[in-house]
Structure formats: C-alpha cells, structure tokens
Chain A
C-alpha cells in the first residue's frame, strides 16, 4: 500500500485551507496537483540549465538537450514502449490526437472511409475527427455503451468493417471511469485493416500501461494529469508509422534541408516537433515519471481501486444518489460521476466547495455522453495517489450534510 501520509507531504498546495477548511482536492481527472519534486525540477532547469535544445554547441545547450531527450526515454518506459524515437512531445492529449488526424488522416482517408469512435469520448477525441471528415469526406460511426457503462462490444463488432480506416477510443472514460477492452478493439480494428488510436489521458496516470499488450497503433496522454506540469503531451506511434506520416507543423527543428523549391524533413520524432518545444516543462515531467515509477503503477492502481470502492459505497448510501458507470472497481478507474435527485451538479459543486472540497460539475467535455445518459451535467469526484478514504469521506459527507 502507498504511504499516503508521506506522499501528501510532497504536495505543497494540499497544505492550504479553502473557505476555512483544509483543502480536499478531488478534481484529479481534470488536472492533478504537483509534487515538490516536479516543481523543484522546473525551477532547477531555469536556474541552472536554461538553453535552447538540439542546435547549440555550448555546454548549457548540450545539458538541456540531454535532459530533454532523457525524458523521452522515461515517457517510452512509462507506457512499455521499446523505442524512445517513437515518442513525440506535444502540448497535450488533444494535440496528440490532432497530430494524427492531420499527419496520418489527411493522407490515409478518403470519401466514404469510416472512423469508429464511441459515445463516451471526450470532445478531444471527437472534434479532430469531425474536422478530418469535413476535409476528406470520411464518415464517423459511434459505438454505444450498455446501461452499466461498459462499451457495447457486440455493436462494435458490427460497426468495425471493411470501410473502417481508424478506430479511436478512450482507454479510461473521464466521466464513467470505464476501462475499455482496448486489446479486443485492436484485434477487431486490425482484422478490418484499420488502425487503433487510444486516448490514454485518464489511463496513463492511473493504470500500468503497456502499448504492446494493448496492441494499439497510437497512444496519447498528457503530463499535467499525472503530476507533471501543464503544456506537455505525448504521442506514441507504433514503430515505422511516424516515418510514413507527413509533417504536422512546419518550421525550425523539423527540417533537414531547406531550399527555395522545397524542404526535406528531419528524422522522427523531430519531424513532428517544429519550433522551440516546451523544454522546461518536458524536463520537469521527468520528475513526474520518476515519482510514479518509484511508487509503482501497480501500487497506484491498487490504492485508487480501494479509495474508489470506498467512495462509491458511501455515495450510494445517500438517498437519491445515482452513480454513472461501472460499479465493479476492476472495470473502472477513480473518476466517479454521480447525480443527486435533490440538486443540480453545479449547485452541488458550489456547496461542497464551501466545505473546502473541490469536485467538478458539468458536461466534462463529453456532450455526446451526457445526451446518452439523458442528463445535462454530472458531478464528479476523481481520486489520485495523494488521497485517502478520509478525504473521500469529507467529500461525501459534504454532499450528504448540506446538499439535500
């Protein structure tokens, strides 16, 4: 088990009071708080190493380049990828998905080709494909989910067929918490000759991930949801895929030779990292990868399963509460969305905020999912390593005491 008492000491922000109560931060699915180690790494970079990377000869430029590239290796290791050169740094998961839609989609999709998504996707895994469909004439198809919040695999089997060029699916839903059977979807996609993209924004921070076992072709995630700074995303692509893709953004760093009549591209992954990247935050992200590796992702998962089970159990004891998504913690992660008969989610969020408890309310960037559930919004508490059942209890108690 994790030593949460010690872990909490690493998060300076959690020591404060909000509305005269000790802060209980349960909005980790939106962004996590940052441990001292990440904050220190950011400051240390600016105080000791700051220089532009890849094109400098001087000592600081070499150090900064080494530190930046070292994080590429850590990012690959975090998701079980063998080759750091298959890792592209982006701004966030959204940009990782947009990169694929542009650099792979524009050249590989045409009129009538199909992209299969699900109704539980975040807008970041819907809108880039709508834009791609508009450019190419491709068509979007949506896999529904069952009432228990699990993906309807029978329907998926019917939807994924010879017209399918890409299946793009969320690994762990940011609303329902559902962990989707990615390996099975990979088999279906590959049998149809299609590729599989996995949106790992919620899974990479909370589950052990191995892209080889998942069998996916693209995997995207964001560092700010896993203890790292904002402004760093990762795209992993199966070996060989990036080489075949056209550039995403043009500019410095991504070229080999520039001539008036045209240019040639740098080797991957630099071909996809035009301009000065977010050097400082990538380097600080290295400390986030280290932090999670030292805890062990298996331990992280076990801890979060326990707190999620406790939270769901306590919430269900409140009359008029319904939880959206699977109730079995083996099938879900720590994002727990719920509705209360007596109050609108925005009112719940404001009321528990008065108790110093931070939860999220709204459509969670998943309007298709809200429409499918038949609700305008939900309330969501989401857990991470630095939380204990006691904190979940404070969140639940605030709902119980004051909302109804």
Chain B
C-alpha cells in the first residue's frame, strides 16, 4: 500500500498564499467570551484565538500567531468559515475538516475555501500544521459549553 504521490503544485494554491499574506480576522476581539491558544512544539507554530459566543452563535472571532503558510492560512480560512454560525454548525465543519485531513475523506463542499488545504492531507508531517487552529477552536468551544448550557461535558 503506497500513499498517493503529493501534488506539490497543488499544495500552495493561490488562495492559501493569499490567506497567509493577508490573514482575515487577524488580531484580537475587544470582548471575547472565550480565549484559547495552541502551539505545535515540534515546529513552533502558534495560534491564539478570541471567540465571542452569544445565544450559541459565534458572533466574533479573531486570531493571531506565527508559523508556516499552512498553519496561518488554515486559521484565517477557519475564521471566515465559522463567523456567524452556530456552535452546532461549527462542530459539523470541524468534523468535516478533520475527516478530510486525517481520515482521507473527500473534500466536502460545505468546507468552502478550506478545500484548498486538501493537498496537505498527503503530507503527514504537515497535517498538524493545518489542524492547529482547529484544535484551538475546539478548545475555545469547550469553554463555551457551560455558558451554552446544553453541550456535553
């Protein structure tokens, strides 16, 4: 069983480079309800994330940090994708993104621009870069659980 040959031309698509050079929702929120951060100790990539949740809807999200194009563009696209969505919808997106990156599932059209990161799944050493922001978001959502009152512990 051999892994499919990575397509290097596909890896750094324009949209990834664009999000890396001009990250969306970059910075901090004035009044976050949740904050989380994460690092990849092996490579030093860092993401800090502010999230504002009211009535189970993400009405604000911002991130900053440093790292490679894959980690930072993934964070930027994440913020665009989940801003304005409910926690339930966001968890669905997280699940679809993880399925694409970790389980080798075909890209789901519900992922939008994030589909551009599909090629990273063929490079196991880089998958953790793409997942970092998602782990941070998940941690932030876990903090949201008590406030939302209906999330499982």
Contact = CB atoms under 8 A, between A and B. Distances in A.
B42 interface: yes
Contacts of A343: 69
A19 B44 CA distance: 27
B70 interface: yes
B8 A376 contact: no
B104 interface: no
Contacts of B43: 346, 361-363, 377
Contacts of B8: 19, 350-351, 353-354
Nearest to B120: A350
Nearest to A352: B8
Interface centre among A346, A361, A363 (most CB of B within 10 A): A346
Contacts of A351: 8, 11-12
A361 B42 CA distance: 11
Contacts of B11: 350-351, 354
A350 B123 contact: yes
Contacts of B67: 344, 346, 376
A19 B8 CA distance: 9
A152 interface: no
A344 B68 contact: yes
B39 to A, nearest CB: 10
B70 A347 contact: yes
A370 interface: yes
A347 B68 CA distance: 6
Contacts of B45: 346, 376
A351 B10 CA distance: 11
A346 B126 contact: yes
Contact of B126 (A350, A363, A376): A350
A362 B70 CA distance: 15
Contacts of A19: 5-6, 8
Contacts of B123: 350
How many chain B residues sit at the interface, stated as a range, is 10 to 19
Interface residues of A, number: 16
Contacts of A350: 8, 11, 123, 126
Contacts of A353: 8
Nearest to A403: B12
Nearest to B69: A347
B129 interface: yes
Interface in B66-113: 66-70
A198 to B, nearest CB: 28
B73 to A, nearest CB: 10
A347 B146 CA distance: 39
Nearest to A348: B68
Nearest to B70: A347
Contacts of B129: 346
Interface string A16-36: 000100000000000000000
Contacts of B46: 376
Interface in A318-358: 343-347, 350-351, 353-354
Contacts of A370: 44
Nearest to A361: B43
Nearest to A344: B68
Contacts of A361: 43
B104 to A, nearest CB: 19
Interface in A349-384: 350-351, 353-354, 361-363, 370, 376-377
B72 to A, nearest CB: 8
Given A343-B69, A344-B69, A346-B68, A354 B44 contact: no
A339 to B, nearest CB: 13
A19 B123 CA distance: 13
18 contacts: A19-B5, A19-B6, A344-B68, A344-B69, A346-B43, A346-B67, A346-B70, A347-B69, A347-B70, A350-B11, A350-B126, A351-B12, A361-B43, A362-B42, A370-B44, A376-B44, A376-B66, A376-B67
A-B interface, 8 closest residue pairs, ranked by CB to CB distance from nearest:
A354-B8, A344-B68, A346-B68, A376-B44, A347-B69, A347-B68, A377-B44, A376-B66
Given A19-B8, A346-B43, A377-B43, 5 more contacts: A346-B126, A346-B129, A354-B6, A354-B11, A362-B42
